[in-house]
Structure 1
Amino acid sequence: MSFSAAAATGFVVLFLSVTVGEDEPAWSVKYDPSQICAFRGSTVTIKCSYKYPSRIQGIKTEVKNKIWFTKGNNLVPLDLMNDSDYKDRITYNVTKSSSSSFLTIKDLKQRDSAKYKFRFITNQPGGAFTGSPGVTLTVLDPDLRVQVRRSETQTELKCESSCDQIKPPSYVWFNKEEKMEQQTSSIVVSVRDGGRYSCSVKGHDDLRSPSVYAPRPPSVSVTPSGEIMEGSLVTLSCSSDANPAANYSWYKEGEEAPKASGQNFTITNILFKQRGNYYCEAQNSRGRCNSTVTVNVVAAPRNRVAAAAAAVSAVLLILILICLLVWLIRKTKVWKQQSRPGAGPVPSEQVNPAEESVAYSVVHLATKQEEPLYCNTVQLGPTRPKRHKKRKEEETVEYASVNCGRTRTDARTESEKQDSVEDPAALYSKVNKPGKNSRETPAGF
């Protein structure tokens, strides 16, 4: 056999020796996973599995060296053990019985972001192999965060990080420092749940996101404190421990509309009517809470005098109105009495009662007997000279009934009583009443 034929034959034998099957090469390196995202300061482990022919031309294959590298090339790599950037931060987990290799890097730095490859060297001539394409490691700041999506009945918490866009890691959850069973990227809790939730990447419990929770009761204050003079500058302040950060709104008790928004509420020229209780409401996607502060405003001295004067004026006005009301009531009563039926119009000329004359009735008695009769006189008024009547037709006649009683000077018998006949003579009494409307009143006994 010629050299060329032998060489060709040897090539075929070598090819057949290193090939296990048509689909699976004899020399190979597999990386799992091919992309890794890790946080700065954490520890990461990169692993791979490799294969090689057990024998070549009757010679048992043995692995002499295993290295990981990021610098150099596939034929002339720079072992990480000799790279000053990784000094005292890397370890190789090498086992002779296993066809796998592990690279562990501690205290990751952002400059550690690179593509890592594995190369093994055997005892066979030219028996070295480098796996491609390698493992891409990305080192980022530990910016784990919890996104909150709230509905009317429940709240969804989702753990996120910058690694999600590269290769989403597996997350674990914590509630008030206790590790939960859920190992998913999101969990659902009640709207009124008062827990403090945080998350971390699985296997890195020491790197956690900030906890999310509803606002705690706000701390409120007013400046200046105590009694505040009317016209002063007043500032109300509010703060609450909450994550996500809380939004603040200011309300006055008894009013529905908010007075202001933000942590501080400033009133440049406060009025006396603005005194009262104000409360601050802190709210975020996890819940809400509020606290109250009292603003005690006192009137300025000049305003006190004005207020006192206004009060006195109000009292005087009320008294005047009361007096006017009493006068109107009395006036109404007099008008009603004068307007009753039969009362007649009020005469234009009023006569002084002291000037009214006293008239005595003159009684003429006529009887058949000579018995003395006595009659009571009636005093009608003080005497007054008669006035001439202007109109005769205005004169009226009034009648008065006068009762007269008889008295005897001696006792009479029953027969004499029967014999005596009373003379029903008419007696007339003339009454003179001075004034325009003088009246003559005959009186009969």
Structure 2
Amino acid sequence: MVMSDRMTTLLIFLLMIHGVSSEDRSVSYSPPHICALKDSTVIMRCTYKYPISYQIKKVFWTKGPLIMSVEAPDLSNDPEYRQRLQYLGDEQQNCTVRLSHVTLKDSQIYYCRFITDRYKWTGKPGVTLTVTDLQVESPERVTEGDSVSLTCKSSCALTDRATFIWYRNSLKILTESKFRNTLILNPVRREDSGRYSCAVDGHTHVSPDVHLNVMYPPRSVSVSIISPSGVIFEGDSVTLNCISDSNPPAGIHWFKGGTFVGSGRIFSISKIRSDDSGEYKCRSFNEYGEKYSDTVTLNVMYPPRNVSVSIISPSGVIVEGDSVTLKCISDSNPPAGIRWFKGGTIVGSGRIFSISKIRSDDSGEYKCRSFNKPGEKYSDPVNLNVMYPPRNVSVSIIQSGQIWAGDSVTLKCISDSNPPAVNFSWFKENESSAVGSGQSFSALQSGRFYCQAHNQHGSQRSDAVTVTVKYWRIYHIAIVASVCGVVATVIIVLLTCWKKLHSKSTTNNSDGISMKSENKEISYVYENVGAVHPCTNAPKMTFPLYENVTIYENCTAHRNMP
């Protein structure tokens, strides 16, 4: 009897396992296998039938594994399913259920269990639910120009027909392969680098990002001046930055012209000099290639220096009438303005200063002033020594007063010339041959004389001057000498006569000679002796023999006597 009960129980259990009975009990699941996307909603469709004589007390869903000695739990009472599980069937034929927001842990075998007025059973074989997420499969490293395929993969084939959506950097990509789980990039470009993910249209689940790393050589290489932002002056600190787009990041080399000057993305010059002016560029390189930037010019501003003046023309001696050109040489940046000075007076501007027909007045010291925004500087002066032939030639008479025959008259030739005249010739007017040389000349006779001054650049003659020599002084001296001789002779004769008369009067008065007549003659001779000369206060005498001759006839002649 006990054995019979056990057999009956086993039979009932077997009938419950197979979901059928001789009385036509059955459960049907459609589909029996479901592959659902994580966070999606799954509908597990279920129908059942049972004998009319049975009365359904309860229909509910449970999950495996089933244990014979343990009552299968009702998922609607499970806290993990209570809010997500919704029974859609009835208690007659439909046992469909909906499970929302499925997770990977929901991957189980689900069964519909029935409780009737006679017994309990679980419908087999149940619904196998596999919950999957999405993963993007891509190569880790690709090179620009390659053909690349990215695959949106799941652990099982989704039950519903899926429409795949692709994202790059969280932005949807429009692609022709809409219903395929593969994204093809052919050829792949550097712009295709980024974070890729996929999703199924109508579902919120998105795969984790996968980074597609497209390798490429440097491009868009350029140099920027970080500081200073404006004009660069000598002494400033200057910083250059090399900008480059490459993958992997590029190494950087710096060049001035064709010369290597540094490395690294930043190139700095702490105190820039004018010699640092020039064109700079950077070379960006990685294992896939290299590229040079365009050049950037560092134009270092500095005040004038090495300022000097040079004579371009003429190359030798400067002669009056020459065209003279001066050039101001200056090293500066920006190019300097130029002012020209003669002494302290401004005479012109511009790098070239010209005098078309130079004059002697243009002789002097010239200098230029070179100036720009950073500063200014003067050149050393250069001397223009303008040569010219003699001019303003004149004759100067050294003596003053009247000139008498026998005197020498000194004449001096005066001239203005550069270099000073050293050769002088003297001429008497209307005579072709020179009468003397040297800067001074002694004239011994009356006439009109002129001089001619010479230097290596020419000559010029003076106007003639008149020299007058007075010859009557010679006769005057002769007359005075003659008169003095006569006076001396008369005095001697008178003294002799007086002596004789005195001797006779004292020794022999008997001669009876009367002195009256002799005294009368002597009186006649001396009657004008007492006259005084008006110039010298000396006695002035006239004699019958020389009644028309006046001794010391005038004061001037007297003063000029030796």
TM range (shorter): 0.3 to 0.5
TM-score (norm 1): 0.41
| Pair member with larger Rg | 2
TM-score (norm 2): 0.34
* Structure with higher strand content: 2
Structure with more contact order per residue of length (Cα contacts < 8 Å, sep ≥ 6): 1
